[in-house]
């Protein structure tokens, strides 16, 4: 599903954010990307989501080389993903319902079908009662759950979350993690970047650990089996 082959990303006037990374993520996996801030976690996710292109090496998403994608094809590639950000990136000039429906409109889905799907997504994250509320009136945890609803409403096969619990206290963070696990259970590929070692201790899943741009572990959390 996702294959990195000797991928290096260098930003202008800075060190290599990612050095020679090679790994594969299969469909339906739940993968954590860990490391200190600045270790290259965000860069790795941006490469997967095709918002950045590698300086060298190849990134294959569903057998498509993202370096070779035409600019006009990139939006369609991005629709395969549900993206969740640390700062939520919600639109504060519209209510919850309208925030969640945006990806459906982009996909050309409107009317009753869209409304049904939006309510289903809001229900999954426990915000069905708040569809008319403006995002600014929600707590941090609720905002993040709203962002998740928006990410999953178009039923993407891959969920990518960059520090989704970074700004949240422990109980909210556990809520969010539980939601990701639930999506993993139904077969969605979930990739979560986190620097939060505490949150990690509870999970028994595959970990990609980054240290200053270098991929140091690519093994499963419990049994230690190397996937690459």
Partner 1 sequence: MNNWLNQHIQTIKLVLGRMQNNALSTFMISLVIAVALCVPGLFYLGVDHLSKFTNHMQDETEISLFLKLDADKDAVTEIGEVLAKNDSIKNFHLVTKENAWQALKSKAEADNETDSKIADLEKNPLPDAFFIQAKSTEPETLEALKKELQSIPGVEHVLLNTDWAKRLSALLALGKKIILFVTALLAVALLVIIGNTIRMQILTQKDEVIVSKLIGATNSFIRIPFLYAGILYGLFGGLLAIIMLVLAVKVFNLSVQQLSSLYSSDFSLPLFNGQLFVGIIGFAIFIGWLGSYLAVSRSIASIKIN
Which chain residues interact with partner 1 by CB under 8 A? 46, 49, 51-52, 72, 75-79, 81, 83, 89-93, 102-103, 105-111, 150-151
Q: How far apart are CA 170 and CA 144, in angstroms?
A: 14
Least separation in angstroms between residue 91's CB and partner 1 is 6
If the CB atoms of residues 151 and 207 are measured against partner 1, the closer one turns out to be: 151
If the CB atoms of residues 145 and 150 are measured against partner 1, the closer one turns out to be: 150
Classified as helix, coil or strand, 174 is helix
Least separation in angstroms between residue 169's CB and partner 1 is 25
Least separation in angstroms between residue 22's CB and partner 1 is 23
Least separation in angstroms between residue 173's CB and partner 1 is 23
In this structure, the dihedral spanned by the alpha carbons of residues 91, 95, 100 and 101, taken in order and rounded to 10 degrees, is -110
Give 128-136's long-range contacts (Cβ < 8 A, gap of 24+). Answer: 130/96, 131/95, 131/96, 131/97, 132/95, 132/96, 132/97, 133/95, 133/96, 134/92, 134/94, 134/95, 134/96, 135/88, 135/90, 135/91, 135/92, 135/95, 135/96, 135/99, 136/92
Q: How far apart are CA 204 and CA 197, in angstroms?
A: 13
If the CB atoms of residues 95 and 219 are measured against partner 1, the closer one turns out to be: 95
If the CB atoms of residues 118 and 151 are measured against partner 1, the closer one turns out to be: 151
Contact 40, 17 (CB under 8 A): yes
If the CB atoms of residues 130 and 150 are measured against partner 1, the closer one turns out to be: 150
């Amino acid at each position: 599903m996702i294959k990195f082959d000797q991928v290096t990303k260098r930003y202008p006037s800075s060190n290599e954010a990612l050095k020679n990374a090679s790994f594969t993520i299969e469909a339906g996996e739940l993968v954590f990307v860990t490391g200190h801030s600045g270790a290259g976690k965000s860069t790795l996710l941006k490469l997967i989501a095709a918002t950045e292109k590698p300086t060298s090496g190849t990134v294959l998403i569903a057998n498509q080389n993202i370096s070779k994608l035409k600019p006009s094809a990139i939006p369609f590639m991005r629709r395969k993903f549900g993206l969740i950000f640390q700062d939520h990136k919600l639109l504060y000039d519209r209510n919850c319902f309208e925030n969640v429906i945006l990806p459906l409109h982009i996909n050309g889905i409107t009317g009753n079908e869209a409304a049904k799907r939006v309510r289903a997504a809001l229900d999954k994250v426990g915000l069905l009662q708040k569809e008319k509320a403006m995002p600014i009136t929600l707590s941090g945890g609720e905002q993040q759950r709203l962002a998740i609803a928006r990410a999953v409403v178009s039923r993407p096969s891959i969920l990518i979350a960059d520090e989704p619990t970074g700004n949240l206290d422990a109980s909210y963070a556990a809520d969010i993690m539980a939601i990701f696990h639930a999506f993993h259970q139904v077969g969605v590929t979930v990739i979560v970047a986190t620097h939060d070692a505490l949150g990690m201790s509870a999970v028994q899943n595959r970990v990609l650990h980054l240290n200053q741009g270098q991929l140091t572990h690519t093994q499963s959390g419990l049994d230690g089996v190397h996937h690459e």
